[in-house]
Structure 1
């Protein structure tokens, strides 16, 4: 009986080491900052919060890791209430009709010791496009505020507004959008 228990424990430990960790994005510390060219004079920014979803880390083969995240478009803010209302209206993001944006990974390509390109389907405004996120792993650490070990990531992406059906007011507002993403997952 004791030998059977030892075998079960050993198998459990081996299975645990080969399994991937499925983590949940922390919505208060996961954000997307977007920047857009305005007449070529400046690059104003806005922010989207309210992320939900999972990050599955396969420690044995990081290329088999996966991201599935949803952003709450109702949290979009530029800190300019009238402009926020315009961006959320039918003229732009149509947030009443499309209240979320999603990203679901399809491929992870390691590019360095703590970097990767993650290709996936980004859906904004009801339109899905394949996009690449350039991701940097920041740190794995215990967070005493939540009593959990978390993983931190930063990412960037460059995309076209027009590709998502959001090309109105060009050239006043340029087509090229830069995304700066910071995420924590537990």
Structure 2
């Protein structure tokens, strides 16, 4: 009888709120595509990967979540080897001296059921500027290859090259750079 009372007590006891969980970015499926205006004629793209970092996700109150992510600038590619070498060189990103792009959230504002504006500090080329990422929650799913449940997010942002000391070659390359973000975290 005593065991039955204890078991019933456990069943009807209030369930504690789930604590925030720390998710780590999966580097092979987390990327930032950048798009730049070229003479105003086209918008070529490049890609940066090599993500490391964490999302502390509070599913009870997503606005209390936080994000800290680093991208490996050596992974930058435009599929044009000579252009990649120029972008990674001293006259542009100077990847030897500034090997990472780093974003740390300072505020998350929910904008819909599955959307949020994530404002934070982006450090790129040794300069830190505020940036807002417009993010969408895609899905939560079990990944059988990793034997883990993952969360997927997509988003966009726009940054100024000049704000990060990267205004070279203007007006050939315009100042506004659009970012397209896709991330998986486990």
Q: CA RMSD in A?
A: 2.0
TM-score by length of 1: 0.92
Q: Where do residues 58-137 of structure 1 align in structure 2 (5 Å cutoff)?
A: 58-137=58-137
Q: Partner of 2:24 in structure 1?
A: 24
Aligned residue number for residue 156 of structure 1:
156
SS in 2 for 1:174: coil
CA distance in 1, matches of 2:38, 2:3: 71
Length-normalised TM-score, structure 2: 0.92
* Residue in structure 2 matched with residue 40 of structure 1 by the alignment: 40
Helix, strand or coil for the counterpart of 2:184? strand
Give the C-alpha shift of residue 134 in structure 1.
Answer: 0.2
User: Can you give the 5+ residue segments of structure 2 that lack an aligned partner in the other structure?
Assistant: none
Change (3 A) 1:2 1:102: farther
Q: CA deviation at 1:18?
A: 2.9
Query: Is 1:138 aligned to residue 119 of structure 2?
Result: no
> For 1:139-166, what per-residue CA distance to the aligned partner results, in whole angstroms no more than 9, with x for missing partners?
0000111111000000100110000000
- Which has the higher Rg, Structure 1 or Structure 2? 2
Displacement of 1:14 in angstroms is 4.1
Q: Structure 2 CA distance, aligned partners of 1:133 and 1:141? A: 23
Using the alignment, how far apart are the partners of 1:174 and 1:51 within structure 2?
26
- What per-residue deviation string (whole Å, max 9, x for no partner) do you get for residues 112-158 of structure 1? 01000000000100000000000000000001111110000001001
For the residue of structure 1 that corresponds to 2:82, the secondary structure is helix
